[in-house]
Chain A
């Protein structure tokens, strides 16, 4: 799915952007991290929408 943004004339001129990234794989617990290592480059996330399938049989051991 292509990226799209909620910004420009819709939300106060390039003030905000929402970007999609693909994920896959099973998990019982998941941990998210944001990082920005490049010099003179900023980072300011405000929320993350996460889509997942709730799909397996409960109670299975690892």
Chain B
């Protein structure tokens, strides 16, 4: 058989999929082969044509380390106080170690506002009628009011000792009370500091069914109530008042799937996404398909989720919707440790969404907690660490960790046989087409069958005009 030189354009047609196998067999069509998944996509994001792009670096928001208790930034929050003068005031709040700190409009300085909290509990923050509310799953610490004037105090109005809450139908709603784990509480109308007066109340959600309330989330004029972490169920609270024609009512939604915790839930577009013990999910897909595994957001990486994460710490995940980039991100600990050292990144600009990871193959910043905060009106992604720092992550032009440590972006396709594994081929050469970055190299590697990987360093500088 005479030699025939084949020329094929290889295109980036999909995100990370650990569960689609190690090889893709397909013959090029019209000189192109679009490869529908990657077997590695670490420390990168996606361009809209599918091209992988090394994720941006990180930089510390506070340059002075906070040293208190474990030094861990258990959670933090971007608070906007509307006030009555026509302009908002921005504050940040953080639960670090055993203390509660505030910051003025991302000025980089944390100021201690409350000490003596129980360390290493799961905190939660939300705004309710121009008051920030902090709570945690501690059985001893009680919910705190965080006013714009920074005078932290116990939340007024005899609230239950809830772990998390939200604002819905002009009321504060709360749950996660150890003594009543299936009870959903609501405050009086327009008053998050009245939990016993007229209009306040509670709703019991299948008490003693083996689960507790793990999350509550407003969505499409309803409150979605999650129970877990064992049997798993989701419920809907309809209505707008305790009594009357639109009285609050509970409707079971689905069983067998639910959020594992409050901080792993987020709104993405017209949908709610959440982490469960089984994977990562969309409420819309759950509504359509229930616990049918094909509908999980994390279907392409499900074995990684189920086998390679520390499930004892799943309930401590934080989710952030980085809408500016079209990314939903969750932070987890890999198996074998408790440090949250991998972020699963879902790019929902694509349909279906495309997965990548930060920190899976090689280290990125260990991100214990996550939040979106506004820096000069731009929504940016921040992470709290276990070392007393909050860092901006993902879009810092200096592609190092906090300005000092290099990290590796890696993209790898499955093995390709171009339509036949039986037929031997001979490699001739490659032509890498890239965005010009500078007079430095990217490394391209290739592995032929069971041979050791060969590599070429390819310059990414813009060059002379083609002549």
Q: Which residues from A are CB-within-8-Å of B425?
A: 26-28, 30, 52-56
Complex CA–CA separation, A55 to B3 (angstroms): 5
Q: Mark A27-62, 1 if CB is under 8 A from B, else 0.
A: 111111111111111111111111111111111101
Kindly identify, within residues 142 to 193 of chain B, every residue whose CB is under 8 Å from any CB belonging to chain A. Answer: none
Interface of B is mostly: strand
Q: Are the C-beta atoms of B463 and A46 separated by less than 8 Å?
A: no
Task: Encode contact with A along B428-467: 1 for CB under 8 Å, 0 otherwise.
Answer: 1111111111101011111111010110101111111110
Q: Tell me if B53 and A7 are in contact (CB < 8 A).
A: no
Query: Contact string, B386-398, partner A, CB cutoff 8 A, digits 1/0?
Result: 0000000000001
User: Is the CB of B411 closer than 8 A to any CB of chain A?
Assistant: yes
CB of B378 within 8 A of chain A? no
B387-427 interface with A by 8 A CB criterion: 398-400, 405-418, 420-427
Chain B residue with Cβ nearest A56: B424
- Is B49 located at the chain interface by the 8 A CB criterion? yes
Distance to closest chain B CB from A55 (angstroms):
5
Q: How many A-B residue pairs have CB under 8 A?
A: 301
Query: A27 and B427 in contact (CB under 8 A), knowing A42-B54, A44-B51?
Result: yes
Q: Kindly identify, within residues 1 to 32 of chain B, every residue whose CB is under 8 Å from any CB belonging to chain A.
A: 1, 3-12, 23
Chain A interface extent, by class = 35 or more
B52 at the interface (CB under 8 A from A): yes
Contact A24 B412 (CB under 8 A): no
Which residues of chain A from 2 to 35 have a CB within 8 Å of any chain B CB? Answer: 3-10, 13-35
Q: Which residue of A lies closest to B361 (CB)?
A: A35
Report the minimal beta-carbon distance from A20 to chain B, rounded to whole angstroms: 5
Establish whether residues B406 and A38, one from each chain, have CB atoms under 8 Å apart when the complex forms: yes
Q: Which of B409, B423, B429 is close to A58, meaning CB atoms less than 8 Å apart?
A: B423
Given contacts A32-B416, A53-B5, 13 further A-B contacts (CB under 8 A): A17-B462, A30-B448, A34-B445, A40-B57, A44-B54, A48-B431, A51-B6, A51-B428, A51-B429, A52-B425, A55-B426, A60-B422, A60-B424
